[in-house]
Amino acid sequence: MEKSKNPTVVYSVSDFIAVLNQTLEFAYPVVEVEGEVASFKVNQGKYVFFDIKDSEGSVNCFMTVWQLRMPVEDGMKVIVTAIPKLTRWGKFSLTVRVVRPSGEGAIKKSFELLKAKMAAEGLFEPERKRILPPLPKHIGVISSTDAAGYADFIKILDDRWSGVRVEVANVQVQGAGSADQIIRAVNYFNQQEVLPEVLVLIRGGGSADDLSTFNDELLIKAIAGSRIPIIVGVGHETDETLADLVADVRAATPSNAAQILVPDKKEFISSSYSTVRSLVPRMLQTIEQQKQGVRHLLVGAIGLTGQAIDQEIIKIQSTNMVLSQLDPGKVLTRGYAIIRGKLKKGEIIEIETFKDILKVEVKNVTTK
């Protein structure tokens, strides 16, 4: 029997599906497809099903809830990163790894939905915010070392302060996988034996799509769960990301993050000297107060001494007066006389008056 030159291969159904999947895997290992979400649903809290469609067609999509990093709802325009696959039931599906919003409207919508969700979980509450160390000695920086924002941060840090140990985790700050890299960096610093005192997450300005990395749900939760306080400085002053909102401190820009983190050394030195100089008037004031106190005491002491002396003088004068009253000579001037000798009949006695001394004989003595 003659054999066919081009024999047709007959596959079993499962082999056919396997071969087709191999072909798809070879031809389209990963695809990115843009479209509008329809029939979005989550089964058993684990499995996510939706269709992605445009005006001409529709494709089924499947993923797990853990892979879904942004809120999705019907009508939202998204880009899915996925692996095309034929299921064993012969249904074509995209096994989705990443969903990201597409277009300004969808980015904004996604941002608002996630913001509301995170706010409902209390992640933006002011009570959660921690105070940064006033003079950090050891900081961890999470950024791309090629980014302009990183260069700005280091320049301002060097200009303002010295003696800081800066550990830098070089990560991608935009595009697919960037949020995961930042999460790993946050976890890396949190697992170190010696923790940095503060983490700094920075990147310069960019489009809404570039900054969407900082609106990733798992990244928001990683920042919220960090043991180390985090300052986030992403984009320009007008840009707002959810990473900003969940951070302990929000900086308007990477440069602003450095300004918040450390004081200006020139001002610090000047302030130190000024503090020391302020002690001089305090010392002089104290010396003056003490001088016045001593002076006051001296005046008081002199006054008291004078009073005591005056009192003594008065006493002496008074005593003098008494004594002068008792002076026999004074008594004689008042007409009295002093009698000396025995008052006995026939005795000769002496009588002294103010002017004379008389010798007289006692003729008679009569007791009163």
Partner 1 sequence: MSRQNKSIEEKTAELRKLVSWFDGDQFAIEEALEKFKQAEKLAEEIEQDLVTMKNEIEVVKRKFDSE
* Contacts to partner 1 by CB under 8 A: 134-135, 137, 145, 154, 157-158, 161-172, 177, 181-182, 184-185, 188, 265, 268-269, 272-273, 275-276, 278-280, 282-283, 286-287, 290
Least distance between partner 1 and beta carbon 140 (Å): 9
Closer Cβ to partner 1, 25 or 158, answer by number: 158
Q: Which of 108, 103, 255, 242 is nearest to 179 (CA)?
A: 242
Q: Minimum Å distance from CB 146 to partner 1? A: 11
Report, in Å, the least distance between residue 42 CB and partner 1.
26
Residue with token string 């840009």: 239
Cβ atoms of 169 and 142 closer than 8 Å: yes
Ordered DSSP codes for 316-338: HHHHHHHHHHH-HHHHHHTT--E
Rounded to whole angstroms, how far apart are CA atoms 255 and 252? 8
Q: Between residues 287 and 360, which has the closer beta carbon with respect to partner 1?
A: 287
Rounded to the nearest whole angstrom, what is the least distance from the CB of residue 165 to partner 1 in the complex? 5
Residue closer to partner 1 by CB (options 20, 168) is 168
Which tokens hold the place of 187? 């976890």
- The residues facing 95 across adjacent strands are 62, 83
The distance of closest approach from Cβ of residue 166 to partner 1 in the complex, given in angstroms and rounded to an integer, is: 5
246: which 2 tokens?
Answer: 């969940």
Between residues 70 and 139, which has the closer beta carbon with respect to partner 1? Answer: 139
Which among 120, 128, 142 is positioned nearest to 214, based on CA atoms? 142
Kindly tell me which of 38 and 260 has the beta carbon lying closer to partner 1. Answer: 260
Residue 227 contacts by C-beta under 8 Å, 6 or more apart in sequence? 190, 195
The runs of H, that is alpha helices, within 250-278 are: 254-261, 265-277
Minimum Å gap between C-beta 212 and partner 1 is: 19
Q: Considering the complex, state which of residue 145 and residue 353 has its C-beta at the smaller distance from partner 1.
A: 145
> Is 68 exposed, middle or buried, given 0-12, 13-18 or 19+ CB atoms closer than 10 A?
middle
